Structure 1
Amino acid sequence: MSLAPATDLFRDHLRSLLPQDVFRDSAAHYLEEPRGQFEGQAGLVLCPDNTEQVATIIREAGAARVGVIPYGGGTGVVGGQVLPDGPAPVILSLERMNRVRGLYPLENVLIVEAGVILADVQAAAEAADRLFPLSLAAEGSARIGGNLATNAGGVNVLRYGNTRDLCLGIEAVLPDGSIWNGLSRLRKDNTGYDLRNLLIGSEGTLGVITAAALKLSPRPAGTGTAMMVVPSPEAAIELLALARAQMGEGVSAFELIHRQGLEFLSETLPDLRQPFADPPEWSVLIEVGLAQGLDPAQALETLFESAAEAGAVVDGTIAQSEGQRRALWSVREHIPEANRRIGAIVSSDISVPIGAIPDFIRAGAGRIAAIGSFRINSFGHLGDGNLHYNVFPMPGKTKHDHQNQRDAIKQAIHDLVQEMDGSFSAEHGIGRLKVDDLERYGDPVKLATMRAIKTTLDPVGIMNPGAVLRAR
């Protein structure tokens, strides 16, 4: 069944059902995505204030066969928040649904609406002396509903898990306009199908998450950060094993950094202070959070000594102050900005089994070299097997000089990932950018089941049409 545009008549109908402050005059702000690969269709922008208004919008959109594009903070990098073609949709922004509904410190639970910015979720938890550990580069503008819809990862997955692992329950509006009140604070609820985890990660294609009960954690009594130079990716994995053997779940983040990323920082952000005068070939940024009575700096020093004795590290620096800790993290956090300034031909968000990472890095370099001469920046969350594997032009050229090779490079990377039983989308989702990849590499039974779920819950196909699954 084909969709219809959001016409003036449809807008006027909604005006008879919704307050005036729900409507926005301009759609310009909602038509862009960070990487500039898609430009959204201008449509009817609606900013509801509560779940009942969301339900009204979805119900009426279904009746009129108008597509609905859920919009969070707009920070997704796979085009899931914009509709580049087709009939003009409803752009449904939850920015006004930004209230904290409940805080239960003794239960380690925070209930928030979907439009709360991630940094504000973190601040609300901190005000109660608790930690909401989801942390990513866009946390100052990303909204928790979008984080849940994409099952965002970030730097602390190693210890705390993805966003789905940080959520106890959700409230959502389904494609028929019904409201599912699943805001459970329970940690045990074995009463049938897990609708929460069906909607988390569905990228707005099965409904709109309007609120969530989030799982908080105690704040570590002490935090320590170090950057250690390792001779190889194999040594980095050995270092990770040593760190976990010595500190257990105290290891919060373990980030692999390649020399190319540091050289890009020197090239594009020369004022950013780096910890080593000569960029090492491979280094690891480690953060630990330990209980009261344990000294994180001493624990990191002990780790360094034992790793050096084993040949797993050759140099390193341990932060002695909060300022030094922030400086080390600033290096890691600015690598994506340096990448953006250089201009990647292909940016990949892949995962493979942790033990396969060294083989992937070596084999990937060989397959890319067979296509041409390029620079590769391979970095990311080694602790959970997630690498950002990005291919760049040689100095003096730009990504536009290699547009005819882009598809070949991407396929070479994803073919290798498939051979190693990995994933071509580790944490960014499918959106519209990777629909072809999902069809190429996805398990046929899984794809058929996904299509059956989509058809059952959203028979008209109004929810984020063309995202994750190709629109029919």
Structure 2
Amino acid sequence: MDRQLEAAGFATGEGGRKDLAQRLSEMLDPQIVLTGEGMHDYCRDWHGDVQSDAIAVLRPRSTDEVSAVMRAAAALGLDVVPQGGRTGLVLGGVPDQPARQVVLSLERMTSIRQIDAEDFSAVVEAGVVLEAFKEAVAEAGLFFPLALGAQGSCQIGGNVSTNAGGVNVLRYGMTRELVLGLEVVLPDGTVFEGLSQLRKDNRGIDLKQLFIGAEGTLGVITAISVKLLPRPEHVATALLALNSLPDVMTLYRRARQQCCDLMSAFEFLPPLAFQLAQEGIPGLQIPIDTSHPAYALVEISGSGLVDIDDLMARFLEGAMEDGLVIDGVVAQSRQQAQNLWLIREGMNEGQARRGKHLRTDVSVPLSKLADFVAEAEAAIARDMPGCVSVSYGHVGDGNVHLNVMPDTSLGADSIDPQIKQAKKIVNTVLDGYKGSISAEHGIGRLKKPDFEARLPEAQRQLLLAIRRGIDPDGRMNPGCQLDPR
């Protein structure tokens, strides 16, 4: 690619980058071209562990402008790194080749084009913040179930591009299950208009599925049509203490049978979660004894004639009578329920405040979740005795975040080697359970080597064929997921 730029008359050093940025300003509306110090926040990861650079940050305001950006980038031979709310955890939206890449931010495409209460659907542009969209949908008396800790800043387009998960996957599925149609700008600037709002459409291959989870490697998602649901009128949330993670799994199976599809979330937490949550959110109130071995955060919800509070009460009564649940608290108001969820969200902030650490996002079969956590944590304790393991996650879909905080007493220079060693240990144990190295965060650049090392050849060839067919020049987010060149 550097040779291609040079052949076009551009140097590849700092001067060449300025020339390319100037050409972009000439070819596009200069108001969408951002250069200089203003690019700083667009070229870093959410935790601040990685800082990069780019030729320019392009911030189009419409699908037509995205198309113009793609045509200009193609004419200049530039790579394009699509970017949403910059909350990703695998470097999928962080440029890694500053001399030949532009960042394409969707943050100015913020129109909610339509909310149709009769059709239970909506059409929303890619740059709309998830929380703002959920609030707008709620005002219409409906519900969009995707729920993430980063929903105050992540964007719908990024959610779709990464096939985001979150706490409600158990009941509503991944983002993929909520998408009816897509509008996508392809690498040459062509607009794929697929904003269908049909629930059933069996006319051949479902093309939208190619772009969901592709992390911007096939095109730029500019708008999405999504399913909406009736708003849950009744929600019951409980934080429960148990004697072990296997007991948590037993409680989950019982909840799945007794609460059925009304169970919307079931999370497991370690005792350390509460300390981390208070470090992340100072002053956060913890309404339960934090000395028990394991915890579960359970939520059931429904509308209409279902008595959710009674269902929760009867479920917990049986679990406590059988000695499965040893302590617990049930939220008595929406504010109390939000406080319980702040514990789950705050522990992520607490870990971030402790510094750089291993963040994993793995999945195993439900029946093996407790065994996997026990084996992986034991391996970390045996081989890296100064490190601290923090395991938590979404019980109902087998998704475990087994994070490892390094032993800081060994010095700053040891942090990265410790993280690398811990990742190798966790992934080795994971392979024995035939699990996935990415349950909901995606592959990005961070997990690319581990992804490629585990990729069966037939799958590799299919993925390469798709990428090369849609993006023959390999300009869409190269370095992310799988190298097309």
| Fold match by TM threshold 0.5 | yes
CA contact (8 A) 2:280 2:347 kept: no
Q: Matches of residues 169-318 of structure 1 in structure 2 within 5 Å?
A: 169-265=181-277, 271-318=283-330
Cα distance, 1:191 vs. partner? 1.4
Bigger drift between 419-428 and 297-306 goes to 297-306
| Structure-2 separation of matches of 1:192 and 1:269 | 49
Q: Matches of residues 253-402 of structure 1 in structure 2 within 5 Å?
A: 253-265=265-277, 271-343=283-355, 345-373=357-385, 374-393=387-406, 401-402=414-415
Q: Which residue of 1 aligns with 2:173?
A: 161
Q: Secondary structure at the match of 2:99?
A: coil
Cα distance, 1:37 vs. partner? 3.2
CA contact (8 A) 2:24 2:33 kept: no
Relative distance call for 1:218 and 1:416 in structure 2 (3 A) is same
Relative distance call for 1:432 and 1:334 in structure 2 (3 A) is same
Q: Which residue of 2 aligns with 1:19?
A: 29
Cα distance, 1:398 vs. partner? 6.8
Give the alignment partner of residue 41 of structure 1, picking from 53, 65, 68. Answer: 53
Cα shift readout 1:284-341 (whole Å, capped 9, x = no counterpart): 0011112223332222111111122333211111111122111111111101011112
CA contact (8 A) 1:27 1:43 kept: no
CA contact (8 A) 1:343 1:399 kept: no
Cα shift readout 1:157-188 (whole Å, capped 9, x = no counterpart): 11111111111000001112111000000111
| Structure-2 separation of matches of 1:160 and 1:451 | 31
Gaps of 5+ in 2: 6-11
Q: Secondary structure at the match of 1:43?
A: coil
| Structure-1 separation of matches of 2:415 and 2:206 | 45
Q: Secondary structure at the match of 2:361?
A: strand
Give the alignment partner of residue 130 of structure 1, picking from 116, 120, 142. Answer: 142
Q: Which residue of 1 aligns with 2:9?
A: none
TM-score normalized with structure 1 length: 0.95
Tell me the amino acid that sits aligned with residue 446 of structure 1.
Answer: Q
Tell me the amino acid that sits aligned with residue 388 of structure 1.
Answer: H
Q: Secondary structure at the match of 1:60?
A: helix
Aligned pair 1:464/2:477, yes or no? yes
| Structure-2 separation of matches of 1:289 and 1:269 | 27
Cα distance, 1:215 vs. partner? 0.8
| Structure-1 separation of matches of 2:242 and 2:164 | 28
Q: Which residue of 1 aligns with 2:8?
A: none
Tell me the amino acid that sits aligned with residue 465 of structure 1.
Answer: P
Gaps of 5+ in 1: none
Tell me the amino acid that sits aligned with residue 21 of structure 1.
Answer: Q
| Structure-1 separation of matches of 2:18 and 2:279 | 51
Relative distance call for 1:398 and 1:332 in structure 2 (3 A) is farther
| Structure-1 separation of matches of 2:24 and 2:288 | 59
Aligned pair 1:410/2:420, yes or no? no
Q: Which residue of 2 aligns with 1:433?
A: 446
Aligned pair 1:114/2:126, yes or no? yes
Cα shift readout 1:126-184 (whole Å, capped 9, x = no counterpart): 11100111111111111111111111111111111111111100000111211100000
Tell me the amino acid that sits aligned with residue 177 of structure 1.
Answer: G
Q: Secondary structure at the match of 2:360?
A: strand
Q: Matches of residues 443-462 of structure 1 in structure 2 within 5 Å?
A: 443-462=456-475
Tell me the amino acid that sits aligned with residue 456 of structure 2.
Answer: D
Q: Secondary structure at the match of 1:456?
A: helix
CA contact (8 A) 1:110 1:215 kept: yes
TM-score normalized with structure 2 length: 0.92
Relative distance call for 1:397 and 1:137 in structure 2 (3 A) is farther
| Structure-2 separation of matches of 1:453 and 1:470 | 12
Q: Which residue of 2 aligns with 1:145?
A: 157
Cα distance, 1:36 vs. partner? 2.6
Q: Secondary structure at the match of 1:85?
A: coil
Percent identity reads 39
Bigger drift between 81-90 and 316-325 goes to 81-90
Tell me the amino acid that sits aligned with residue 444 of structure 2.
Answer: G
Cα distance, 1:362 vs. partner? 1.2
Tell me the amino acid that sits aligned with residue 414 of structure 1.
Answer: N
Tell me the amino acid that sits aligned with residue 455 of structure 1.
Answer: R
Bigger drift between 349-358 and 18-27 goes to 18-27
| Structure-2 separation of matches of 1:269 and 1:8 | 42
Q: Which residue of 2 aligns with 1:97?
A: 109
Aligned pair 1:28/2:46, yes or no? no
Cα distance, 1:408 vs. partner? 2.1
| Structure-2 separation of matches of 1:14 and 1:391 | 43
Relative distance call for 1:400 and 1:390 in structure 2 (3 A) is farther
| Structure-2 separation of matches of 1:229 and 1:13 | 61
When the two structures are aligned, how many residues end up with a matched partner? 472
Higher relative contact order (CA 8 A, sep 6+): 1
Please report the RMSD computed on the Cα atoms of aligned residues, expressed in angstroms: 2.0
| Structure-1 separation of matches of 2:170 and 2:261 | 9
Bigger drift between 297-306 and 388-397 goes to 388-397
